[in-house]
Structure 1
Amino acid sequence: MKKNPEEITQLRTQLMSLVRRMRREARSDEKSWAQLLLLGAIDRHGGMATPSVLAESEGMRSSNLAAALRTLETDGLLKRIPDAEDRRKIRVVLTQEGLSLLHESRARRETWLSNAMEHCLTAEEQTLLIAAGSLMARIANSPPLKENSY
């Protein structure tokens, strides 16, 4: 069932408003939003990843990624280690300090989200929003579509 363009525009706008608010809630963090996203990406890849995997998953150019990784490494939030199977490859690994910073940031944003939901939504609406989260995850994880299929 094809949705009308106005509904899709409204949904996109609503999602982006929430993302911007989550970014504002992260401003109390000592690291930038982009650096937190990069730490999160490393965590999602099991706490270690190759720079090429990170560049692809985060849609970053290698030069921007290299600069961000250098900053995070200098700050003691990650370290680079040789790959166990292919010593030519490097893996980026979160340090305990990096993992702690990431978990604290996530906890603050999740506390804000929980409080905002409790304050703004009824119990039924909260349940509906939680259920919608799994639908949004399915959309986010869908394979790329051909340009003509939009």
Structure 2
Amino acid sequence: MSEEKEVQLVSELRFVIGRLSKKIRRNSETAGKLSLTERSTMALIFQYGEILPNELASMEKITTQSMSQILNNLLNLGLINRRISELDKRKVIISLSDEGMNLIHKSRSEKDEWLNRAIEATCTAEEQEILKKALMPLAKLVEFD
């Protein structure tokens, strides 16, 4: 592929994925109540189950002070739990509360339902197969650092 076509592919792919991602986020009433970083932080807590604030800050690439503000807001909203580590009393372990778990599940369900309706309304059966085939290379992009 020529360099010009590669640049065009990269640009178009970035644009389309970015727009689709924003559209999916906008179509979740539940998630719309939180900032992007708050939603991302909750997703990380969900993924890891229990995690330290400094680990979250590192993953989100923000300062520990900024993460502290995010966690305080999530705690005030009743979406997370904090507990002192039994091994090291200086450390606080973060997990999702029942309300936080419910929010994650409801938000994901809303997004999945919207995306399913969109795919069914706009894509032919052949295009849906193309989307299935594109999942593997897209997943590889997500894992690339």
Question: Deviating runs (4+, > 4 A) in structure 1?
Answer: none
| 2:55 is the counterpart of 1:41 | no
Secondary structure in 2 aligned to 1:92? strand
TM-score by length of 2: 0.87
Superposed, 1:16-35 pairs within 5 Å as 16-27=18-29, 29=31, 31-34=33-36, 35=38
1:39 and 1:105 map into 2 onto residues whose CA distance is 11
Q: Which runs of 5+ in 2 are unaligned?
A: none
Q: Which has the higher contact order (CA 8 A, sep 6+)?
A: 2
Within 2, Cα distance between the matches of 1:106 and 1:33?
Answer: 16
Provide the alpha-carbon RMSD of the alignment: 1.9
Query: Quick one: which of 117, 141, 144 aligns to 2:143?
Result: 141
Task: Tell me if structure 2 keeps the 8 A contact 1:80–1:93.
Answer: yes
Q: What is the aligned residue count? A: 142
**Which residue of 2 is the match for residue 4 of structure 1?**
6
Cα distance in 2, alignment partners of residues 9 and 140 from structure 1: 16
Gaps of 5+ in 1: 145-150
Provide Cα deviations, 1:95-126, integer angstroms capped at 9, x if missing partner: 11100011101100010001101111112211
Structure 1 length-normalised TM: 0.84
